[in-house]
Amino acid sequence: MIASVTGTRLSPSAYIDGILSGDRIILSRAITLVESNRHEDIQLAEQVLNRILPHTGKSKRMGITGVPGVGKSTFIEAMGSYLAEQGRKLAVLAVDPSSQRTGGSILGDKTRMETLANHPNAYIRPSATGSSLGGVANKTREAMLLCEAAGFDTIFIETVGVGQSETTVKGMVDFFLLLMLPGAGDELQGIKKGIMEMADALIIHKADGDNIQRAKIAKAEYENALHLFPPTGTGWIPKVQLCSSMTQSGIAEMWKLVESFYDLLGEKGINSNRKQQNLDWMHESIGYLLKEQFYSSEKVKAQLKTLENEVEAGKKTPLAAARQLIN
């Protein structure tokens, strides 16, 4: 393997052989490669991704989100440890395209998920965020494909922020899980309706100790709220369950719920959804590539600052300035 190294990069075959053999170090290096914005890295990453593509698509893809303080990391560690002990191979990725300033909190999550991070059947990967034009969404999709090719049969994609990341993650997973806290009355007002509409299941988390009664009330309120939403095209009816990562109650039942979702949709339904997601991904990529090419143009760079000044000074409308640059 060392003979294949050129600088810090491997040959395409070295990446592919390492990934397909389940080498965690090579997998991590391959994810770093696809996250890079260097031209030579992008070309190499595309070669690797195209060649591992036949080995992808065999995992269960699950998105997990929730309000701040709901205990996503605790839940993921509890659920992930349960699955790892069952013999499933789990990869945990994070996405937070809305966070340009903080870069999200997955590194902290990895520290908190120490038990899961050390399990031989689990792999936890921080995703790159920040101001790259590609955004973390594209890179998370590609990281997911690499993990699947490396033999992981279950992928958790955690959203760090609340907002744009939910829609992004929904577009790359099969099953979307929303974690909520007991005390539904106030939260029903505060959480965006759109996020609840996206959920395939709601978990009332931290349903233990003094919270149990509040959790039962919250469960009933959320079930009533979900009845107001239009039915999904798949025939799946979103469910609400109680769960405590501290006592492990509801963890096994939650996974049975996920499996019943896959049983209902079947391979045909899951594949149909993924085909549409791939088409959406392609069109998103077109927008990204056009934007990247536009801002890389020397002609655009020569005029951009002047036109920005004219827009700021009110001498030109934003639309007129944009049209002039496009032309």
What tens digit of pLDDT does each residue of 8-67 get? 789 999 999 999 999 999 999 999 999 888 889 999 999 999 999 999 999 999 999 887
- CA 42 vs CA 152, 172, 204, 327: distances in Å: 24, 21, 42, 28
Q: What is the CA radius of gyration of the chain?
A: 22
Q: Assess whether pLDDT exceeds 80 at residue 222.
A: yes
Q: What's the CA gap between 24 and 13, in Å, rounded?
A: 16
Tokens (6 digits) for 76: 């993921």
Is 57-265 CATH 3.40.50.300? Answer: yes
Q: How confident is the model at residue 290 (pLDDT cuts 50, 70, 90)?
A: very high
* CA 158 to chain CA centroid, nearest Å: 6
Q: Give CA–CA dist 87/255, Å, rounded.
A: 14
How far is it, in rounded angstroms, from Cα 325 to Cα 327? 5
Is 177 or 126 the better-scoring residue by pLDDT? 177
- pLDDT for the residue numbered 110: 56
Sign of CA dihedral 29, 35, 40, 44: positive
Specify whether the CB–CB gap between 171 and 155 falls below 8 A: no
Sheet with 90-95, side-by-side order of all strands: 122-125, 90-95, 154-159, 60-66, 175-180, 201-204, 239-242
Task: Please tell me the least confidently modeled range out of 35-44, 134-143, 260-269.
Answer: 134-143
The domain made up of 1-55 is a member of CATH 1.20.5.170: yes
List 93's β-bridge partners, or say none: 125, 157
State how far the Cα of 168 lies from the Cα of 226, in Å rounded to an integer. Answer: 22
Give all strands (DSSP E) within 80-198, no chain letters.
Answer: 90-95, 122-125, 154-159, 175-180
Q: Residue 109: CB partners within 8 Å, gap ≥ 6?
A: 72, 73, 76, 94, 124, 158, 160
Band the pLDDT of 147: cuts 50, 70, 90.
Answer: very high
Q: Where are the alpha helices (DSSP H) in 192-250?
A: 193-198, 212-226
Banded pLDDT at 233 (limits 50, 70, 90)? confident
Residue spans in the chain of domains classed CATH 3.40.50.300 = 57-265
**pLDDT score for 5:** 41
Which of 1-15, 154-168, 202-216, 311-325 has the largest mean confidence?
Answer: 311-325
- In the chain, where does the domain assigned CATH 1.20.5.170 lie? 1-55
In the chain, DSSP assigns E strands to 60-66, 90-95, 122-125, 154-159, 175-180, 201-204, 239-242
Is the pLDDT at 300 greater than 90, yes or no? Answer: yes
Written as one string, the DSSP assignment of 286-313 is: HHHHHHHHHHH-HHHHHHHHHHHHHHHT
Provide the residue type at 198 as one letter: M
Tell me, what's the pLDDT at 134?
Answer: 44
Rounded distance between C-alpha atoms, residue 132 and residue 129, angstroms: 7
Q: Are strands 239-242 and 201-204 parallel, antiparallel or unpaired?
A: parallel
